[in-house]
Amino acid sequence: MKNYLVQINDTTLRDGEQAAGIAFSIEEKIAIATFLNSIGVQELEVGIPAMGQEEAEAIRAITRLGLNTHLIGWNRANISDIQASLNCGLQRVHISIPVSNIQIAAKFHGQWRVMLDRLRDVINFAHDHGLSVSVGGEDSSRADESFLLDVALYAQAWGAFRFRFCDTVGILDPLTTYNKVRQLVDYLSIPVEMHTHNDLGLATANALAGIQAGALSVNTTVNGLGERAGNAALEEVVMALKRIYGIEAGIDTKRLLELSRLVARASNCPSPPGKRSWVKTPLPTSQGSMPTGFYRIPLPTSRLPRKRWVGNAVLYSVNILDGI
């Protein structure tokens, strides 16, 4: 795997808020955006401008902060959606279009040519108004691979700066993800971005597989928040890149614990015990016959990040098997 810089495009404020029961206040959105910017996240998907007045007000408030990170809004392939993004002061828009037969049937009555014409027209409208455009293939994982590639190539020809591969319903495994994304990477000259869901517990693994295949950008959410079972967790993706592949994503990892707690409070959604506990709380462990080697030799049985990397520690419990 090449040691290139992978871009983190965090969607906590968009897909993260689509988790059941979560609705951030404007103040919470500003706090989260400011924190993500401060630790070096390169891009933030800040919401859906066309969703309504309160959403638009929050996005405008974030655009006025003068953050270093790029801000991008999520849009359907509708000119009215793009106009809403313009009204919020955004300079980047993401346009999502269905690419699987089942989604095209539901949203365009099966008329894929109409869908492509709409995409072209909306991209042109966005460019005419000075916007940079990213295009995403909704339900890429269930799309015909040849058709998916055609859509991505059209998007590239029409001036999109990036194409997003979406495992919208979270059905892929890492090997299949690698093969599907590799085909896009081989044929496109624009970057591919990963968007994965955790329905089968594979969001982070599939995001990493896409990066191994050559994707240069990845969607994450803090604490893995997101629709249904959630998305690839920012903290997992960043630390996996760092510790497994030696790839620095430009993130201040020592502040991940603080970020995780901020979002947990705002979402009122703490992670269950043991889930990513190396970030959120000291990791409790009972080592059995392993403590002697653990204490004498650094990291013999654990490759989990230590305090110097993520600002956290490990707790050890003692039981009747310890020292055997």
For residues 97 and 284, the model is more confident at 97
pLDDT in tens, 245-274: 999 999 999 999 999 999 999 999 887 665
Q: Give the tokens for residue 128.
A: 């005419």
Whether 104 and 143 share a structural domain = yes
Whether the full predicted model's pTM is greater than 0.85, yes or no, is: yes
Instruction: Give the pLDDT confidence score for residue 275 in this predicted structure.
Output: 59
Neighbours of 6 (CB within 10 A): 23
Whether 263 and 286 share a structural domain = no
Task: Please count the structural domains in the chain.
Answer: 2
CATH code at position 52: 3.20.20.70
User: In angstroms, rounded to a whole number, what is the distance separating the alpha carbons of residues 78 and 55?
Assistant: 18
Whether 197 and 299 share a structural domain = no
**Per-residue pLDDT at 286 exceeds 80:** no
How far CA 179 is from CA of 165, 169, 186, 187, 199, in Å, comes to: 12, 18, 11, 13, 20
Percentage of the chain lying above the pLDDT 70 cut:
82
Instruction: Give the pLDDT confidence score for residue 310 in this predicted structure.
Output: 61
Q: Report yes or no on 102 lying in a domain.
A: yes
CB 158 within 8 Å of CB 120: yes
Whether 104 and 249 share a structural domain = yes
Averaged confidence pLDDT in the chain: 88
User: In angstroms, rounded to a whole number, what is the distance separating the alpha carbons of residues 217 and 201?
Assistant: 20
Q: What angle do CA 127, 135, 59 make, to 5 degrees?
A: 75
Whether 224 and 113 share a structural domain = yes
Whether 256 and 295 share a structural domain = no
Q: Report yes or no on 1 lying in a domain.
A: no
Residues paired with residue 127 on neighbouring β-strands, in sequence order: none
Whether 108 and 232 share a structural domain = yes
Q: 311 lies in which domain range?
A: 282-317
Instruction: Give the pLDDT confidence score for residue 290 in this predicted structure.
Output: 43
User: In angstroms, rounded to a whole number, what is the distance separating the alpha carbons of residues 226 and 79?
Assistant: 26
Whether 296 and 167 share a structural domain = no
pLDDT in tens, 166-206: 999 999 999 999 999 999 999 999 999 999 999 999 999 99
Q: Report yes or no on 242 lying in a domain.
A: yes
pLDDT in tens, 16-52: 999 999 999 999 999 999 999 999 999 999 999 999 9
What percent of the chain is helix, strand and coil (3-state, nearest 5)? 45, 15, 40
